[in-house]
């Protein structure tokens, strides 16, 4: 069980800046995100795309913005619980009890929901037994590429993730790249590289094929694939990786008893609190008259929600407004030793 001042749901730009705003006023945060990496939409949907409307930064990319936000929260040594979805929220005396899909439990007086458009979930293999072997032969992301060393791997998909991982894993594993069309959707460069690697005998390509079945008792040991006209082929393999893109689902948030307006959470713009005391919503997931779904709005919302969290986490202390330029406390928390 992990106790914290604030549990932040979502490691997108709004959640990351909330960690900073909480940190400088002396509150500890833990962050949970369903994705395998930090950065939300910026990193998952447009890491290389330029962004031109972050205050005081004339141009950055989704990736560089994420890197800078992470650098800014470094002094607070925050724990990020990735690949984990917040599943349930319930009242536990004066606190909230938060349970993830991996049964991790957090106890916190405050929750900041920075869940964007909901949790990103990988599109899964549409065959029986894919669930049974999930994380034991069937994978949708790679946490540690070394795990796949010297294994026989079938990679499904035609986008950049499938191509890039096929190229990378072919350096030390036996890779078969399988796609339902003859043409790949990924970048020209990656498509050319996989074709070149196939010619050099460093990986195999099978198109147009889709998965048909998964075989194995305790362990996956083979699959069958099929063409559109039903021709099947059996392949022995240690594991299969599916890169079919992501679906965005509001997910379990709908079951937490919060007021919802379509797929958004209405908030009080004084402090970004929802209809439940101690539960705040910021960034793309919150709504109020005039809401702009921009990163800069999420930053402002994070600053106000953080101050409101202070009042709940430290009921016996008075919150004192300070500037970071002059506050010794803030500078100490940021590790800045100015005399
Ligand atoms: C192509 C594109 C270009 C854009 N360009 C710009 C731009 O130029 N300028 C600009 O200001 N904005 C831009 N945006 C919008 C901007 O990316 C969003 O406003 C911003 O990402 C919202 O940040 P967020 O932190 O609220 O949510 P997100 O970035 O969506 O992050 C939310 C995170 O919460 C996680 N999550 C959700 N539910 C759960 C749960 N139950 N458990 C665990 N984790 C959960 C998700 O996995 C996700 O990682 C663009 C968006 C797109 C798609």
* pLDDT tens sequence across 249-264: 888 898 999 999 988 9
**For the chain, what is the total number of helices (H) and then of strands (E)?**
7, 23
Distance CA 11, CA 209 (A): 36
Q: How far is the CA of 15 from the centre of ligand 1 (A)?
A: 10
Of ligand 1's atoms, which has the minimum distance to the CA of residue 285? 26
Q: Establish whether residue 301 lines the binding site of ligand 1, counting it when its CB lies within 6 angstroms of any ligand atom.
A: no
Q: How far is the CA of 41 from the centre of ligand 1 (A)?
A: 4
pLDDT digits (tens, 9 = 90+) for 119-146: 778 899 999 899 999 989 999 988 789 9
Q: Establish whether residue 284 lines the binding site of ligand 1, counting it when its CB lies within 6 angstroms of any ligand atom.
A: yes
pLDDT value, residue 49: 87
Q: Which of 116, 152, 107, 82 is nearest to 13 (CA)?
A: 116
- With the most atoms of ligand 1 within 8 angstroms of its CB, the residue from 21, 44, 295, 298 to mutate is 295
Query: Residue 338: is its pLDDT beyond 70?
Result: no
Residue 165 phi/psi, 5-degree rounding, is: -70, -35
Query: Residue 36: is its pLDDT beyond 90?
Result: no
Q: Establish whether residue 114 lines the binding site of ligand 1, counting it when its CB lies within 6 angstroms of any ligand atom.
A: yes
Angle at 63 between CA 57 and CA 69, to 5 degrees: 60
Residue 60 near residue 54 (C-beta atoms within 8 A): yes
pLDDT digits (tens, 9 = 90+) for 199-250: 999 999 999 999 999 999 999 999 999 999 999 999 999 999 999 988 878 8
Q: Which of 143, 139, 121 is nearest to 130 (CA)?
A: 139
Distance CA 247, CA 106 (A): 26
Gyration radius from the chain CA atoms: 23
Q: Establish whether residue 35 lines the binding site of ligand 1, counting it when its CB lies within 6 angstroms of any ligand atom.
A: yes
CA atoms within 13 A on the CB side of 316: 0
Which of left, alpha, beta for 335 (phi over 0: left; psi -120 to 50: alpha)? left
pLDDT digits (tens, 9 = 90+) for 160-172: 889 999 999 999 9
- Count CB atoms within 10 A of the CB of residue 56: 4
- Count CB atoms within 10 A of the CB of residue 191: 16
Query: Residue 26: is its pLDDT beyond 90?
Result: yes
pLDDT category at 45 given cuts 50, 70, 90 is: confident
Query: Residue 22: is its pLDDT beyond 90?
Result: yes
Give the helix ranges, DSSP H, for the chain: 13-24, 40-44, 62-73, 160-169, 188-199, 295-313, 328-333
Q: How far is the CA of 58 from the centre of ligand 1 (A)?
A: 20
pLDDT value, residue 189: 94
Distance CA 166, CA 278 (A): 45
pLDDT value, residue 103: 96
Helix or strand run (H / E) with residue 178: strand 174-178
Q: Which of 6, 255, 208, 13 is nearest to 112 (CA)?
A: 6
> Picking from 15-19, 82-86, 273-277, which range would have the lowest pLDDT averaged per residue?
82-86
68: DSSP letter: H
Please state, for a pLDDT cut of 90, what percent of the chain lies above it.
86
Contacting residues for 53 by C-beta, under 8 A, at least 6 apart: 294, 295, 296
- Straight-line distance from the first to the last Cα atom of the chain, in angstroms, rounded to the nearest whole number: 39
Q: How many residues does the chain have?
A: 339
Please state, for a pLDDT cut of 70, what percent of the chain lies above it.
99
| Mean pLDDT to the nearest integer, 290-305 | 98
> Is the alpha carbon torsion for 97, 81, 288, 56 positive or negative?
positive
pLDDT value, residue 252: 87
pLDDT value, residue 142: 83
Compute the mean pLDDT over every residue in the chain, rounded to the nearest whole number.
95
């Amino acid at each position: 069980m992990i106790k914290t001042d604030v549990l932040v749901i979502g490691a997108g730009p709004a959640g990351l800046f909330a960690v900073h705003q909480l940190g400088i006023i002396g509150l500890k945060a833990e962050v949970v995100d369903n994705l395998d990496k930090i950065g939300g939409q910026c990193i998952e949907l447009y890491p290389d795309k330029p962004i031109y409307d972050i205050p005081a930064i004339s141009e950055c990319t989704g990736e560089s913005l994420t890197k800078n936000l992470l650098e800014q929260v470094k002094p607070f040594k925050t724990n990020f619980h990735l690949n984990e979805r917040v599943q349930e929220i319930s009242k536990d005396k004066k606190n909230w009890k938060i349970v993830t899909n991996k049964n991790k439990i957090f106890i916190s007086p405050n929750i900041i929901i920075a869940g964007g458009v909901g949790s990103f979930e990988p599109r899964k293999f549409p065959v029986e037994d894919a669930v049974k072997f999930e994380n034991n032969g069937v994978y949708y992301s790679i946490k540690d590429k070394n795990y796949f060393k010297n294994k026989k791997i079938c990679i499904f998909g035609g986008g950049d993730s499938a191509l890039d991982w096929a190229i990378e894993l072919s350096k030390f594993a036996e890779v078969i790249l399988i796609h339902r069309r003859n043409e790949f959707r990924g970048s020209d460069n990656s498509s050319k590289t996989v074709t070149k690697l196939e010619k050099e005998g460093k990986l195999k390509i099978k198109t147009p094929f889709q998965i048909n079945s998964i075989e194995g008792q305790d362990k996956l040991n083979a699959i069958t694939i099929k063409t559109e006209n039903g021709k099947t082929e059996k392949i022995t393999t240690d594991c299969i990786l599916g890169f079919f893109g992501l679906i965005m689902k509001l997910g379990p948030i709908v079951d937490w008893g919060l007021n919802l307006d379509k797929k958004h959470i209405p908030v009080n713009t004084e402090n970004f609190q929802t209809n439940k005391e101690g539960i705040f919503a910021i960034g793309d997931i919150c709504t109020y008259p005039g809401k702009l779904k921009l990163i800069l709005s999420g930053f402002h919302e994070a600053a106000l929600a953080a101050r409101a969290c202070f009042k709940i986490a430290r009921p016996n202390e008075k919150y004192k407004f300070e500037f970071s330029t002059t506050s010794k406390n803030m500078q100490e928390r940021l590790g800045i030793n100015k005399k």
